[in-house]
Amino acid sequence: MSTDPQRENGPSNVDPRNRTGPFHHLLVHFERTLGAGILVVLPIGVTAVILKFFFDLLDPLLEPVVDLFPGPSPPGLGLVALIVLIYLLGLVTTQVFGVRMINLGHRIMEFIPVVKSIYGTARTAVIMLSTSGERPYSGVVLVKFPHPGMQSIGLVTSRMIDTNGEEMLAVYIPTTPIPSSGFLVIVPSKDVTNTEMSVDEAMKVVISGGILAGQEFQQFGVLDRSKSSSNQ
């Protein structure tokens, strides 16, 4: 009498996730809902951890000053003091004397051998991520880099005309996850794809490694092509 190997193994060896029944739909629903919840909770949790770190770090530094006043010190006083200090520094930088002092501080930091690399990278990243309207970028484009079959996000830094009268673009291509390091390419304007992305949106995509791309990529047809291919 012959026996069926599949019957001997039994249905318990079948991965329930491969089924198309109610359990499969319930599992998919649970995974998607859990992922959506994580995306909401994670930024809040990271923010809370960072704030608690600054609370624990700065509060003890102000204890000698707080002890001079009667009554218990409110929690978070160190963080409030830090915000006030940063605000005062901002006021100083708007004055002529303050600008000179800040520039002197920049030169001193860039003179120290090891510190200058860290300071220079951090300063460049802050400038690139700044929301100021005085950025040296005139648009966000897609460049065929580093291979003709690939597309990279680039920031147009300048436009020029070559000897043949063709418009050329100087495009800075930031790298992930540190956009302050990247590549500078000179390409014809006809070889780039213009986008409607802002610099802020482009930086979010680059720093997150594409995780925060979202709606920004729909204008390139990437999401539409993936949907159409999955339906085939």
In a domain, 4, yes or no: no
Residue of 46, 76, 70 lying closest to 58 (CA atoms)? 76
Range of the domain at 183: 140-225
Packing angle between helix 96-109 and helix 77-93, nearest 10 degrees? 110
In a domain, 172, yes or no: yes
In a domain, 26, yes or no: no
- Tell me how far the alpha carbon of residue 108 is from its chain's centroid: 29
In a domain, 181, yes or no: yes
In a domain, 186, yes or no: yes
In a domain, 218, yes or no: yes
Give me the number of domains the chain comprises: 1
In a domain, 109, yes or no: no
pTM: 0.45
- DSSP code for 73: P
Contact status, residue 173 vs residue 153, Cβ threshold 8 Å:
yes
pLDDT tens for the chain, residues 1 to 232? 555 554 455 444 545 445 567 777 888 878 878 877 777 777 777 777 877 777 777 777 766 766 666 666 666 666 677 777 778 877 777 776 767 777 787 788 878 877 777 777 677 666 665 544 455 677 889 999 988 888 899 999 889 998 888 999 999 998 887 777 789 999 999 999 888 888 888 888 888 787 767 655 665 544 444 444 444 4
Length of the chain: 232
In a domain, 46, yes or no: no
